[in-house]
Amino acid sequence: MDYKEPKSKIVTVSISINDIKENTSFLSIPEGYSENEIKDYLLEKYATTTGILEGLVDRNRIILQWYPERVDSKAEEYNRRALKFLKEKKYQEAIDLWHNAISLNNKDVEYLYKIALLFFETKRYEDCVKFLKRVVKICPIHHRAHLLLGLSLMKLRKIDEAQSCILESNFLNRSNVLTHLNLGVIYSIQRKFNKAIKMFNDTINLSPNETRAYLGLAKIYKMLNDVETSNKYFRKVIEIAPDSPMAQYAKRSISLPKSTENIYVDATKSREEYFTKGMNFYIAGDYKTSSSYYKSYLQAHPSDDYGWYLLGETRLRTGDIKEASDCFKRAIRLNSKRGLYYKALGVSSYFLGNSDEGVKSLKKAQELNKNDSLIMTVLGIQLMRLRRYEDAITEFKNAMNKNPNNPMAMYHLALALIQKDEKEKAIEIINRIISFDYYVPLKSSAKKLLQKLNGSPE
């Protein structure tokens, strides 16, 4: 039985005519078009064979509205039940019910968008993209879907395609902070700094306390060697969110005047200043100089556990793995409650080939709530070295649940499955790695492994 569509099914956008006329790079509207001609142009641009698209002129704005041709009552019941499961964080149950709803009405953008949103939240970005492309094909003015599609493509490193989607969303809804912010990020990646600066400033105009925009500006001006402006924005991040991870990053990134740069410890200087100097050289890739600052600081302050951890991180980058491991062990002796230190020790143990120590350290990191996809992957590899294949497989699967696009976990899961004589499952995973249409360093190794399993010559 069909009935009148609820408001949640209706998608509306309101676009300023001035914005339309100024957006010549995005639109090809002939000069001198009347407001009604502009409305007709947009109706043609966003025309769809599914649902109904209408438009009207309201003072200085064009209002576009899309709504579906029908709503299925049984599908709506599945939708309501799915939303209850979502609130209870029973994600798979919600997904299954939305699949049921879609099977009854595969043109309902509400179901398609909600399941895509859940895929995004659970880091299943390729599935998210697949459903969002269906949304924007059915309802081309769905600005939220365009934005989420762009964010998903950014996660998949498809930057140019992401830019196109977010620009579309930004045109349809100029008031969304996230479109400006993420265009700033994209332009920064592309090193189009003037455009990036404009987008971050637009973000701040819409949301004056958006720390991510200030941080983006700080990073750009630092790359442009404008230390004074960069420091100003780093300090703004610290002022707005003093206890956040971004503030901690900003504190480490503030540049000191060159006249104060020396690697000898001055007791009048704060811990923060020496850590800032060490981190600045670390970010610049000068690990030896970074190490010198930390070493000099630790000579005067040998009981600073975080200092030992930072020194260990620099020694990892210089290839002094044994020294790095010793630094992490010393940090743990001084403070045994930080999972970060156990994670670092587990990684250094991985490079040293000390799998027993690595497994012990990484499990301790997990106990201390440091349990990301990288920890699970490295732990799984070390369990494999100890021939504990079942345990390794569990860790790799957990890593992929955290991050479904983790090629290292996928590749080593395939290796572990081969050891368990589960060749078909291994081949399925290897093919997934090979099918990634963005750069994956392990893709070449995956192809060679597949050839070996298929008995083909390399």
Closest CA to 139 of 220, 40, 69: 69
Q: Output the six-digit token pair for 89.
A: 């964080």
Per DSSP, 404 falls in state T
CA triplet 421, 424, 427: central angle to 5 degrees?
Answer: 110
- Please tell me whether the overall predicted TM-score, pTM, comes out greater than 0.85 for this model: no
pLDDT over 90 at 253, yes or no: no
Domains, the chain, ranges and CATH?
7-67 (no CATH), 73-249 (1.25.40.10)
Q: Are 430 and 450 in contact (CB under 8 A)?
A: yes
Asked whether the CA dihedral 29, 33, 36, 40 is positive or negative, the reply is negative
417 Cβ contact list (under 8 Å, min separation 6):
393, 423, 425, 426, 429
For 42-64, the pLDDT digits (tens) are: 999 999 888 899 999 988 899 99
The predicted pLDDT at position 280 comes to: 73
For 366-394, the pLDDT digits (tens) are: 998 888 888 999 999 999 999 999 999 99
Closest CA to 412 of 434, 441, 386, 442: 442
d(CA 2, CA 23): 40
Average pLDDT over all residues of the chain: 87
Strand 52-58 and strand 11-16: the pairing is unpaired
Residue-wise DSSP of 296-353: HHHHH-TT-HHHHHHHHHHHHHHT-HHHHHHHHHHHHHH-TT-HHHHHHHHHHHHHHT
Segment 138-142 shows an average pLDDT of 95
The predicted pLDDT at position 24 comes to: 59
Q: At 359, is the pLDDT very low, low, confident or very high (cuts 50, 70, 90)?
A: very high
Among residues of the chain, what percentage have pLDDT more than 90?
54
Q: Output the six-digit token pair for 134.
A: 């269906």
pLDDT over 90 at 217, yes or no: yes
For 180-194, the pLDDT digits (tens) are: 999 999 999 988 888
In this structure, the number of other CB atoms found within 10 A of the CB of residue 450 comes to: 17
Which residue type is seen at 454? N
DSSP reduced 3-state for 56: strand
Closest CA to 393 of 372, 417, 373, 374: 417
Q: Are 347 and 366 in contact (CB under 8 A)?
A: no
Which residue type is seen at 353? G
Give rounded-to-5 percent helix, strand, coil for the chain: 70, 5, 25
Q: Are 64 and 15 in contact (CB under 8 A)?
A: yes
pLDDT over 70 at 257, yes or no: no
d(CA 122, CA 188): 26
